[in-house]
Amino acid sequence: MKETSETSVGMHGVIPASEIIGKTVVNRQNENVGKIDELVIDAKKNRVMYAVLSFGGFMGMGNKLFAMPWEAFEFSETGDTLILNVDKEKLNAAPGFEKGDKWPDFKDTLWGESIYNYYNYSPPWKS
């Protein structure tokens, strides 16, 4: 019997990545800021490094992507949305990339440090 994401997240903190990808993301003001497009995992350290947020555009066109520290997100009480702890103005000015363009090198720790610093989080490889 498959558990619901609410039960999985609420009781155990465990959820399949397939239930996160495509999940709606809202900010603290409950404004829709996009959807999770991808998760980037550090397979050697067994942790999620980034959630790639798709933001903006219309009907999938012109969406900008943002690699964001996983720590910037939390699940809503119902588990049906993710809450982003970044205000919309900061997101509008954030470094991002287009879906069809070459994606950043997620292994580049200097690039990663700039992303974590932008969102005021400490990179996990520095702890």
pLDDT of 114 reads: 96
- For 52-98, what is the HEC assignment? EEEECCECCECCEEEEEEHHHEEECCCCCCEEECCCHHHHHCCCCEE
Report which of residues 7 and 22 the model is more confident about: 22
State pLDDT tens for residues 45-68: 889 999 999 986 555 555 789 999
pLDDT of 68 reads: 96
Residue 105 belongs to some domain of the structure: yes
Q: Which of 98, 38, 48 is nearest to 70 (CA)?
A: 48
Residue 94 belongs to some domain of the structure: no
Q: How many domains does the chain fold into?
A: 1
pLDDT of 7 reads: 43
Predicted TM-score of the model (pTM): 0.83
Residue 93 belongs to some domain of the structure: no
Residue 111 belongs to some domain of the structure: yes
Domain, as residue range, for 43: 5-88+99-126
CATH number of 117's domain = 2.30.30.240
State pLDDT tens for residues 106-123: 999 999 999 999 999 999
